[in-house]
Amino acid sequence: NTHAHPQDALGGNSKTALLVAAPAAGAHAAETLGTLRFGARAKTVVNKPRVNQELTPAQCRAQLAAARAREAEARALVREMFAELGQLKAQFLAQRRERERRR
């Protein structure tokens, strides 16, 4: 069902209006019921619109620098974790060899 979660399609940073139209003919009862259910779910969507702000070039550069710094920190952490993983693997293998030697 493409309309199972109207929040995904209708929510966001905008004002939203939705008109639900359904035929009254009995031959279309299932479709009408589905449309009404979608409308009921769509009523629960809460948007929080706000005015978009344009950044100055200096603000863009500052945000980019901050993002690059966060990326560098994350990469350093990943390197540290891989180094620790290598040490733990070496310890594990040494302990395994020692256990096998004792048998």
Q: Do 31 and 65 have their domain in common? A: no
How many Cβ atoms from other residues are within 10 Å of residue 6's Cβ?
A: 19
Residue 14 lies in a domain: yes
- Predicted local confidence at residue 4, as pLDDT: 52
Residue 50 lies in a domain: no
- For 22-59, the pLDDT digits (tens) are 878 878 888 888 888 988 888 888 877 778 889 999 99
- For 71-102, the pLDDT digits (tens) are 999 999 999 999 999 999 999 999 999 999 99
Q: Do 24 and 61 have their domain in common? A: no
pTM of the model: 0.47
14 token code pair: 């905008």
Residue 1 lies in a domain: no
* pLDDT at residue 2 tops 50: no
Domain count, the chain: 2
Q: Do 67 and 101 have their domain in common? A: yes
* pLDDT at residue 11 tops 80: no
Residue 72 lies in a domain: yes
What b-and-e string marks burial along 35-49, b requiring 16 or more CB atoms within 10 Å of the CB? beebbeebeebeeee
- For 23, the domain range is 6-43
Among positive and negative, which fits the CA dihedral 74, 77, 78, 79? Answer: positive
